[in-house]
Amino acid sequence: MAKDRSDSELDRELLDLPGELRWREWMRRIEAVLFASASPVPRDDLARVVGQGASVDLLVEDLAADLEGRAFEIAQVAGGWMFRTRAIYAPAIRAAADIVDQLLDLSEFDVAVLAAIAYHQPITRDGLKDIFGKEISRDRIGRLHARDLIGTGPRSPRRGAPYTFVTTEQFLVAFDLDTLADLPEREHLEDAGLVGGS
């Protein structure tokens, strides 16, 4: 969200309202911000629309409880919160709007490349080649980059240093992760046969 806009006219404290109404208004403000945002909203951004003593975590919890039984929910992903449709309604959305889930058309190899990047980032194309034993095409990397699942990472300061790849916030959102620390342990993936042993 843009952080340079003036919000001086916003009464955060709402001292003219009784406690219960003040809390309800803060919840509605958080709801409005989450509704308007296409990406996860961090705690610090939400804290700018509520009073100084208000707990964003408790407000979000109460808002989530308010949404029980609704078709959408609040999800904590990528270091913030966002609205999303409950998974049970995905077939209805696809049927009515002909929306294809972003991950449905990822090949098994695309998911493996994403996993390698996630676990080894920042990683170069040569690093991916070492993992897979073959060159990863620029087209494949380009498709993952175009979907905003990966981005360009840091480069060595030496001339001609190769580009590196890292996962993005959209990667976290797509795989329902709050942070990369939420990735499954590598041993669990090996046990499930999803990645080769080291």
Q: What is the pLDDT of residues 120-155, one digit of tens each?
A: 999 999 999 998 889 998 888 988 988 889 999 988
> Same domain for 68 and 26?
yes
Q: Are residues 125 and 183 in the same domain?
A: yes
Residues 82 and 144 in one domain: no
- Whether residues 82 and 42 share a domain: the answer is yes
Residues 167, 118 contacting (CB under 8 angstroms): yes
Count of the separate structural domains present in the chain: 2
The answer to whether residues 117 and 71 belong to one domain is no
- The verdict on residue 101 lying in a domain is no
Q: How confident is the model at residue 15 (pLDDT cuts 50, 70, 90)?
A: confident
Q: What is the CATH number of the domain that holds 44?
A: 1.10.10.10
CA distances in angstroms from 160 to 155, 156, 157, 166, 196, listed in the order given: 9, 9, 9, 19, 32
55 contacts: CB under 8 Å, gap ≥ 6: none
Asked if residue 113 belongs to a domain, the reply is yes
Question: Of the ranges 59-63, 88-92, 98-102, which is most confident?
Answer: 59-63
Domain that holds residue 182: 108-191
Question: What gap in Å lies between CA 83 and CA 46, rounded to an integer?
Answer: 14
* Statement to judge: residues 112 and 186 lie in one domain: yes
pLDDT at 160: 84
**pLDDT over 90 at 86, yes or no:** no
Query: Quick one: what percent of the chain has pLDDT higher than 70?
Result: 86
Note the pLDDT tens digit of each residue in 22-77. Answer: 888 888 999 999 988 888 999 989 999 888 888 899 999 999 999 898 888 888 88
| CA 126 to each of CA 117, 136, 143, 147, 149: distance values in angstroms, whole numbers, following the listed order | 12, 9, 18, 22, 19
Residues 117 and 84 in one domain: no
Whether pLDDT at 8 is above 50: yes
Burial of 185 (0-12, 13-18, 19+ CB in 10 A): exposed
Question: Which residue, of 89, 120, 140, is where some domain finishes?
Answer: 89
pLDDT at 196: 55
Rounded to the nearest integer, the mean pLDDT of the chain is 83
Q: What is the pLDDT of residue 4?
A: 47
Verify that 179 and 112 share a domain, yes or no.
Answer: yes
- Domain assignment present for residue 65? The answer is yes
